Amino acid sequence: MLLLSSCLLLATAFLAPTTSALSTATFHSKEILLKANARSKHRLSQLAIDTKSSIRTPYPLPAAIIDPQQCMGVPLTLCVGSEDTSSMKLYAPNAKPKSLTSWYNFDDALGYDNAMSTSGGRNGGDGGSRFLVPSSPNAPIKFAPGYGGVGGSIRFDGGKDDWVQVPSTSNNDDEMTVSFWMFLRNKPISSYNFILRKGSEKIEFTPTIQITNKRKLHVRLRQINDENAHGHSFQSFGRIPFEKWTHVALVLQAEVARVYLNGVRDNMIVLNDRYRVNREAWYLGGMPGKPGVNAFVDDFKVHNEGLAEGQIQAMCHGALGVMSARNIRFLDGGTPQKCPKSAKCGEDWHVCTKHEQKGGALQAARANGMYSGQEGSKTVWDDQCNPGTDVGLGLVICCRNNMEKDAP
C-alpha cells in the first residue's frame, strides 16, 4: 500500500500545474484511479484512494472516455489524471498475438516479460516471477544497443557464469516457436557454445541451441521415451555472421523441428516420436559451468504454437536487405553444387539470374553466411551456367518466379 501511494504521489507530482500544488497534493477518486488485473482477464481488481466513490461503469470504448469512472472500467489499464488540469491518461499493455507466452525486449533495466501473460510464472504456476534471474545476485544484467538501434538488448561476454534464467510460462504444449535476434561479436568460439537451453539437467534440454566454431547453429532435442541420453541433433547450413544482427527461429511441431535464419528455412529434422516437453526454465546466453555465447540478444520470444513460415518472415522483415525471405531459397541448404538446371529449384522457382543476384540475392546469401568468407562458397552459379561444360562446385540461389506477384 505504501509503494502504491508513492507511485500515485509521483504521478500527481508530474501532473500538478504549480510548485505549491506539489506540496499540497491530495488524492481524490476523481483525480487518480488505479485499476489492475491481478489474476486473470476476468477478475478485475480496482482501487480508489477515496472509498466514498467507487462506481464501476460499463466498459466504454477508449475514444468515448471522458471521466475517471469510465476510465476505471477498461480492463488491464492504468488511469492517471488531474482535475486541476482537466487531463487524463490511459496506459494499456503491449499488443501481442494470442500464442505469445513470453517476450523479453530488454528495453527496461529489470528484464521484464512484456507479454504480460496471466498463465503464470516460473514452472507455470500463477503469480510466479516475470523477471530475468541473473546467474548470481552479484552478477548484474548487462545491456547493449538493441536491434535496429531502437531500445536495448542483453549483452553476454561468453563466460561460464555469464547467463540469465528466463521463467518458463509454457510447459505442456505440443507446439512451440522460440525466436530472437542475435548480434555475434567477433570473438573466438570453442567447439559448442551455448546460446539457449530449456532445462538444466542432463535429461531435460529440449530445445538447446548452441553455436559451433564454424558459426553454425547446433540444435539438440529429446523425444518422448528417448533411450539416447544425448537426444537428437542437427546443424544449420547457414553461418551466423560476425558483427551483424541475425534473426533465429526454431519451430517445434510434434515430431518435426525446423530452424530459420533471417526468415529463410535452413534445415530440419524429423524425430521418431514427439519432442519431450519439460517444465524447466530457459537459460539464455549460456549454461552454469559451460561456455556461453559472446553476443547481444534482443526480442526473445516464445510462442505456444508452431508459427507459419510467413509469420516468421514478417517478424524479421528487412533482415536480408532488399530481398524478401519469401522470394529466395538456397538449393540443398546452401551446400556447394555442380552447375544445376533450373528444374532443380522446384516448381515456380528458378536459378537466380545475374541481375537478381546483384539486385539482392547475393546480399541475402552473405547475410546468412552462405557466400564469401572463410567457410562460404566463392562461386555462385547463375541461370546461364552450362551443366555440360562448367565444372567445379558453387552456391545455387533459387529465386521465385514472378517475385512481385502477391502470395496466395
- Looking at residues 22-28, what average pLDDT do you find? 35
Top mean pLDDT of 20-24, 69-73, 85-89, 194-198 is at 194-198
State how far the Cα of 92 lies from the Cα of 78, in Å rounded to an integer: 7
Longest CA–CA span in the chain (Å) reads 91
Which set of grid coordinates corresponds to residue 170? 509454457
Q: How confident is the model at residue 66, as a pLDDT?
A: 63
How many other C-beta atoms are found inside a 10 Å radius of the C-beta of residue 21?
Answer: 16
Report pLDDT digits (tens) over 74-83: 777 788 877 6
Q: Which residues contact 318 (CB under 8 A, 6 or more apart)?
A: none
- Looking at residues 180-191, what average pLDDT do you find? 90
Local confidence band at 65 (pLDDT 50, 70, 90 cut-offs): low
Average pLDDT of the chain?
Answer: 78
Local confidence band at 319 (pLDDT 50, 70, 90 cut-offs): very high
In this predicted structure, the answer to whether residue 45 has a pLDDT above a threshold of 50 is no
State how far the Cα of 33 lies from the Cα of 19, in Å rounded to an integer: 22
In this predicted structure, the answer to whether residue 406 has a pLDDT above a threshold of 70 is no
In this predicted structure, the answer to whether residue 261 has a pLDDT above a threshold of 90 is yes
In this predicted structure, the answer to whether residue 63 has a pLDDT above a threshold of 80 is no
User: What does the angle CA 174 – CA 299 – CA 264 come to, to the nearest 5 degrees?
Assistant: 70
- Looking at residues 200-228, what average pLDDT do you find? 87
- Looking at residues 62-73, what average pLDDT do you find? 66
List C-alpha distances in Å: 177 to 25, 105, 127, 174, 291. 49, 16, 24, 11, 25
Local confidence band at 187 (pLDDT 50, 70, 90 cut-offs): confident
Q: Are 207 and 221 spatial neighbours (Cβ–Cβ below 8 Å)?
A: yes
